Amino acid sequence: MTLPLIRLEPFFPGQLGVHGSDTPRGLRYASEGNVYWVNNAHPDSSDAHDGTDPEHPLATITQAIANCTANDEDYIIVQNFTNASETWPIALSKSKVHLLCAHHENMWGGRIVTPPADTAAFLITGDRVEVAGFDISAGATHACFEFSTTVQSWGAHIHHNRMGWMGLCQDGIRMTGAVDKVNFLIHDNCFNDKITRDGIRIEQNATRGQIWNNIFRVTDATGVCINLVTLCTDIYAIYNNVFRCDGAAQGDAITCNVNSIGCMFWGNQAFHLAANPAQNPYLDLGTNHWGLNYSGDVVIYPV
C-alpha cells in the first residue's frame, strides 16, 4: 500500500540544506507511521514528551504504546527501560505497532523484561503487532507472551526473543480463551530451561499460524516444547525447529492432543546428548500431517 503524501508549498527560491525545498512539489512526508524512542537512561527522558525525538525520549514502554496510533505502523525503539516503572502486563493493545529492542547481546535477547509480580510480560490484544529482541521472564503461573482470552487477534509476529533465560516463567508463549489467534508468526526465538512447563502452549484455536526456526532448551520433564492442547486446527506450518529432549516421555518435543486437526509438521529435529531420545519425541493424538521429522539423525513419524 502506498502511503498518502502531504505536500507543503515550496520555499522560494529554496532554503539551503533543506532537500526538496526548491522543487515544484514542495516538501513531503508520509502522514502515517511514527518512531517512538524509549530510553530512561537518557538525562532528558520523560513520559511527558511525545517520544519522537531520541534526544527527548520516553521513560516507559507503556507510555510509548499509549502514544501510538492504531493501524499507523508505528515503531517503538527501546534503548533502555526500568521494569519497576512499567504497567504489567505490558498491553500491546493497538494494532500494527512494532516493539523492537535496540540493544542486543547476541542473536536473541536484549533488554531484560521481568514483571515484578505474578503476571505475563506482554499481553497481546491488538492485530499484527510485532515484538523482537527482548530477554523475557514472567510470573510463576504466567507466560512471557499471553493473548487476549476474549478478543480475536490477527497476525502477531514474535521473533528473536529469548524466554526463560534470566528468570522463570510457566510458559514461553500461551494462547488460550475461546477466540481464534489467526495468522501468527513465531520464529527465531530461544526457549530456555527456566521455563517450568511448555515452550509454546496453544489451548484454543489458532488457525493459519506458523512456528519455525526456534530453539527449545526447556526442561521438558515438566512440560512439552510445543503443546497443542485442544482445538488447534489448520496451523499451517510447524517446521525447522530444534528441540533438546530428555526422552523420558512420548511427545516431549511436540504433542498434538485429540482435537488438533490439519496441522503440518516437517524438518523438526529432537535430540538428547549424543543419542536419540529414548521415547518418541513426537505424539499425535489428533489427525495431522507429518513430513520428514527427526529424532537424532533418524527420520521418525509420531506415535
Q: Which pLDDT score, from 0 to 100, does residue 25 have?
A: 46
Give 211-269 pLDDT, tens digit per residue. 999 999 986 667 899 999 987 777 779 999 999 987 778 999 999 998 888 899 999 99
Q: Which pLDDT score, from 0 to 100, does residue 238 have?
A: 96
Task: Kindly report the three-state secondary structure assignment for every residue of 149-184.
Answer: CCCCEECCEEECCEECCCCCECEEEEECCCCCEECC
Q: Tell me what percent of the residues of the chain surpass a pLDDT of 90.
A: 69
pLDDT at 175 over 80: yes
Band of the pLDDT at 186, cuts 50, 70, 90?
very high
Q: Which pLDDT score, from 0 to 100, does residue 20 have?
A: 46
Q: Which pLDDT score, from 0 to 100, does residue 135 have?
A: 94
**Which of residues 21 and 91 earns the better pLDDT score?**
91
Residue ranges of domains in the chain:
1-31, 33-218, 229-303
Give 89-131 pLDDT, tens digit per residue. 999 999 999 999 986 555 455 689 999 999 999 999 999 999 9
Rounded-to-integer distance, Cα 115 and Cα 137, Å: 7
Rounded-to-integer distance, Cα 100 and Cα 79, Å: 9
Rounded-to-integer distance, Cα 270 and Cα 187, Å: 17
pLDDT at 302 over 50: yes
Q: What average pLDDT does the segment 139-160 reach?
A: 95
Band of the pLDDT at 16, cuts 50, 70, 90?
low
Q: Which pLDDT score, from 0 to 100, does residue 212 have?
A: 97
Q: Which pLDDT score, from 0 to 100, does residue 127 have?
A: 97
Q: What is the pTM assigned to this prediction?
A: 0.88
Lowest pLDDT segment from 10-19, 20-29, 121-130: 20-29
Q: Which pLDDT score, from 0 to 100, does residue 11 have?
A: 47
pLDDT at 29 over 80: no
Q: Which residue has the cell 496453544?
A: 202
Cα dihedral 25, 30, 31, 35 sign: negative
Residue type, 122: F
Q: Which pLDDT score, from 0 to 100, does residue 27 have?
A: 45
